[in-house]
Amino acid sequence: MNARLAVPAVVSSLVVALAVPLPAQGTADDVVAAAGAYLTVFPGLVDGVVLEEKYLQQASASVVVTRELRSDLAVMADPRQGWVEFRDVFEVDGRTVRDRQDRVVRLFTRPSGDSLQQARRIVAEGARFNLNADGVQFDRTINLPMAALYFLRAGNQSRSQFRRGATESIGGHRAVLIRFEEQGMPRMIGSTDDAAAQGAFWVEPDTGRILRSHLELTSRRGTTTTVAMIDVEYEEHAQFGVWLPTSMEESYEFTGSTGNQLALISGRALYSNVRKFRVDTDETVATEDTADES
């Protein structure tokens, strides 16, 4: 299972924009259109954002093992995909694996022609710390909190079928439940059997902001079935004009041909110390905006 994600080579200047208010009432199409409009300006709002991630993982098979990662999770604007996010691990089980230097920040403050290669190296370094269970082979590449939002981007909406559900209250905000089922090929998340993703979003209908997401993928390889689920909660960061992840819950269950559980991998990530860095196009000096200790 591999996510088709890329990391941009160039970081652009921050463009602050606000989502265009849309009607509070409407069909699934109305709410999905509002989310698409919001995600059009979303890259400018999250470009240069760095969150500190505390990520506890557990793998259960013949034995149970745990691992805690601490990382910087950085977000870059990308002209093709809108945005990309990548994890830079700096601590594993309390052990420092690199100097606590903001390598991701240097990609913003001193962008260069090899920024793409630098970012890919950081991603590869971080991925090797992901916990795996005995007896299963699994390349876990969708464990990024904002990955589900790609299905709601305006250019991707035709690839899925959307249905409206109930209206709920999340943190005092009115949210409409929108369920989706992927229809288009090739799939946005690669798997050996071209499995279709499905899930749900809780969308604030008058702004299109996403307050919660659920992503699910069931894939079969040989006699093994893998069910992956990722749930993300968002919270408002008014100083940046955007909602950002505050927690991510994930699970990957592996079952055999008779339905017996072979292994289970789970994880919970919490996000804090949100910073935003800006690159000035006419200067080489970048500044750090307000930090949020959440």
Q: What is the pTM of this model?
A: 0.84
Specify the pLDDT at position 134: 77
Domain ranges within the chain, ordered by starting residue? 23-278
Specify the pLDDT at position 18: 36
Q: What's the rounded Cα separation, in Å, for the pair 3 and 117?
A: 18
- Tell which residue, 230, 275, 202, 244, has the closest CA to residue 32: 202
Specify the pLDDT at position 162: 98
For the chain, give the mean pLDDT. 83
Per-residue pLDDT at 101 exceeds 90: no
Query: Is 99 in a helix, a strand, or coil?
Result: coil
| Strand 210-221 with 197-203, pairing | antiparallel
Specify the pLDDT at position 282: 41
Per-residue pLDDT at 106 exceeds 90: no
Contacts of 8 (CB under 8 A, 6+ apart): 76, 77, 78, 79, 80, 81, 84, 115, 116
pLDDT tens for residues 251-291? 999 999 999 999 999 999 999 999 988 654 443 334 455 44
Per-residue pLDDT at 20 exceeds 90: no
Per-residue pLDDT at 294 exceeds 70: no
| Strand 189-190 with 173-182, pairing | unpaired
pLDDT tens for residues 189-212? 989 899 999 999 999 999 999 999
| Strand 2-3 with 210-221, pairing | unpaired
Q: What's the rounded Cα separation, in Å, for the pair 209 and 188?
A: 22
Specify the pLDDT at position 111: 58
Task: Look at phi and psi of residue 177 and say left if phi exceeds 0, alpha if psi is from -120 to 50, else beta.
Answer: beta
